[in-house]
Chains A and B, each alone.
Chain A
Amino acid sequence: MSGPSLRTPLARVRSLGSSHSGTKDFWRQRLTAVAMALLIVPVIVIVLMLLGRNQAGAKQILAQLPIAIILLLFIIASAWHMKIGMQIVIEDYIHGEKTKLALVMANNFFCIAVALASIYAILKLSSGV
């Protein structure tokens, strides 16, 4: 942001603030919350459908396209939601700058790993191999 710019200071900071990312996380936290609120009933129904079944039975149900799509949407929304939520918790309670950065990074890794493992499992079941 050095050197002359045609942008006014107001335009530069508008909806950004000191974090330089504005209210993006606030908005995404609500967006993913609404997504999960809409998906929770089908997700619970799917889990109930799987109760008491063996691996072959569970596999057959999870391989169905609508079920796979509902679970994929729910996993993406929840991974995103929990990444933002945990980052807020870390930023609230961890005051050492280096520890904070390390934990924010670990948080990203954890959420991506959990999401990817779940997504990969569902895609594998859907492909039937």
Chain B
Amino acid sequence: MTARIERPLSPHLQTYRVTLTMALSIIHRATGVALYFGTLLLAWWLVAVATGPGAYSYVQAFTSSLIGKLIVFGYTWALLHHLVSGIRYFFWDLGYGFKANEREALTWGALIAGISLTLLVWIIAYAIGAGR
């Protein structure tokens, strides 16, 4: 029987100190997975419009409920955060923004822009919705 060779293993996630860029990398992936399942909502909504008033009333009942509003709010943030966070990756793909202060600034920028844009969209939505 051959002896088991002790090969070097990559350290587990818990070994690393949590940094902002690391946290945002995880959030980027998590929002991507959330958006993946969120597309079911988009498909449901489009199919309901195409089906008729009865089917659409279920969508409206969902989006006007508290839990529905929370999910759609979360979906808006996930979408807009993933967008601005993704734009950050373009800078890195093109070879810019690798200095410590630059990558911190890009990452804070994505975090703040994602939240700000979400609030902006919902303020506009409520302003329009109130008029209808």
- Residues of chain A at the chain B interface (Cβ within 8 Å): 30, 33, 36-37, 40, 44, 48, 51-56, 58-59, 62, 71, 75, 78-79, 82, 85-86, 89, 114, 117-118, 120-122, 124-125
How many residues does chain B have at the interface if contact means C-beta atoms less than 8 Å apart?
A: 32
Q: Is the CB of A56 within 8 A of B36?
A: no
Cβ-closest chain B residue relative to A127: B50
Question: Is B53 an interface residue, CB under 8 A from the partner?
Answer: yes
- 23 A-B residue pairings within 8 Å (CB atoms): A36-B83, A37-B83, A37-B87, A48-B124, A51-B125, A54-B56, A55-B49, A55-B52, A55-B56, A56-B53, A59-B50, A79-B39, A85-B32, A86-B33, A86-B36, A89-B32, A89-B33, A114-B42, A118-B39, A118-B47, A121-B43, A122-B46, A124-B50
**Docked pose: A36 CA to B50 CA in angstroms:** 24
Measured between beta carbons, the chain B residues less than 8 angstroms from A120 are 47, 50
Measured between beta carbons, the chain B residues less than 8 angstroms from A62 are 46, 49
